[in-house]
A and B are shown apart, each in its own frame.
Chain A
């Protein structure tokens, strides 16, 4: 068989990765942009979303679609609330000092991860997708009798994967509208531009910070609920997405939402395509080094503006 069908398959898988990654990285980027802190526990909020989705699906039972939709609402809400509690009890008290925040969120990472290990256990558990029809992708080929169409073996995807891509696009548009067209978005952008001036104009900065931190964590959890029918929920699953979303946020320019989405598509697609050719470990080494050098030689990222 030719190479092209593999590339198509790689791109679809890559787009699914990109969709989930974009949601998660936008959450991280939002927190960094508005609050100027790096949340190392972001990957654990992602993991918690997946694990809670399993709990919800397990408790409600019934048709997969009902329990999945329930999980889609409940898991991000719970994770967001937990993040708000973490923000008010820990981050606010250390005054969002950048270095101490990193140390504290590393601590939070281990707390969430290990509590999950103690309660949920070390097994990987699946969640049933709400719908999952297979779609075969046709392929065209020139033969002696002209153009003919056939279905290469293994070239196919599922409706659920396509739905994940579509749903992520809708959500990203919603976030963009929230940030640019609503009063809440305006307040968040004002806080991002100048915290002190925003406060002087009567904005409750503490509440904005708590909300942004909760929203960021909720987005990570939402991304996890979407991916959990494809992957499985496991207590260590937050590690790789965390590094990937760091990569995405850095390449896109720290704090720039549009850049983050572009970078997520770029990284997701190239991840899907590179793994067609290279071993995953080598692909990861290359990606990590590229990002490091971007950060060293272009500290504001590819689409970022001047450093604040």
Chain B
């Protein structure tokens, strides 16, 4: 290969290879996760299915927090919107999982669009408090209508009702693969979004909102769409959680479940596609290990939050990107 040829191809080829590199890397990860189900012992097999669903929730959170720079403290509201949007029609109207899943999805869009519309009138610290308050009102509403939602106690979705397209989703293998499909869809959606024009405007808003506005982009619209995409992905994860694990309860709407995705994303690395998964995986096993010898397992979460803000503001994957893999998105 001649020198002139490499020089000619370099300017056009370089950004493309980075995008491709990143894409291959993540597709490879999905492949590894697919293969893992054949070798993992039953306990970790079940855990990983759960982690993939929760990581999808975290990826939804990451769209808003990591890529658009808006810190919400109320995402449990969206998670619960999907969970109850799907669970309530199944429990009270006898719907099958397919339309119920669509109902959960629609509930996510409706809730995130309306909350986003209102909350985006504020910014910064006020935005955090407004989302926190809305989520608290949502949580209390679930408790208030305890007759249908059964409040804190929650309700179980029976095994017989959890058959979708012929697959019994309470079976470990089906459950694992359903979780993997959801996880892959969310991951690929995130990658596609980040590399699209729309995603680049989101990142521009995160970096400098005034400048983005000055360049002529509709900042408010992009933020609103980011809330909707983020909230709907969270709702989808919530619906999937209820469907795969057969339970819906008010705990999933509490403040704690708004804090968790923030923690996972921060730990893994905000603004990286893989960060939410790594953060969820790490935190899940940290809490799993610590809860075997103390009931105060949230202490670990608290320590992790403080140490992260002090020493690792980029998160694990963020640090990896900075040191080893600059092409990671």
Contact = CB atoms under 8 A, between A and B. Distances in A.
A85 B130 CA distance: 30
B18 interface: no
B275 to A, nearest CB: 15
A104 to B, nearest CB: 4
Interface residues of A, number: 37
A292 B134 contact: yes
B170 interface: no
Contacts of A299: 122, 126
B288 to A, nearest CB: 16
Contact of B133 (A109, A111, A279, A292): A292
A111 B304 CA distance: 10
Contacts of A289: 133, 137
B71 interface: yes
Contacts of A118: 294, 296, 299
A186 interface: no
A99 B71 contact: yes
Interface residues of B, number: 40
Nearest to B136: A288
Interface in A70-116: 90, 93-94, 98-100, 102-104, 106-111, 113-115
Interface in B255-297: 259, 262, 266, 294-297
Contacts of A282: 144
B306 A111 contact: yes
A285 B140 contact: yes
Contacts of A292: 118, 130, 133-134, 137
B305 interface: yes
Contact of A106 (B133, B141, B259): B259
Interface string A288-303: 1101100111010000
- Give 10 closest A-B pairs by Cβ, nearest first: A110-B302, A107-B305, A114-B299, A107-B306, A114-B296, A111-B302, A292-B133, A104-B309, A288-B137, A107-B302
15 contacts: A98-B124, A99-B71, A99-B125, A102-B128, A103-B308, A104-B310, A106-B305, A113-B298, A115-B299, A118-B294, A281-B143, A285-B137, A291-B133, A292-B134, A297-B121
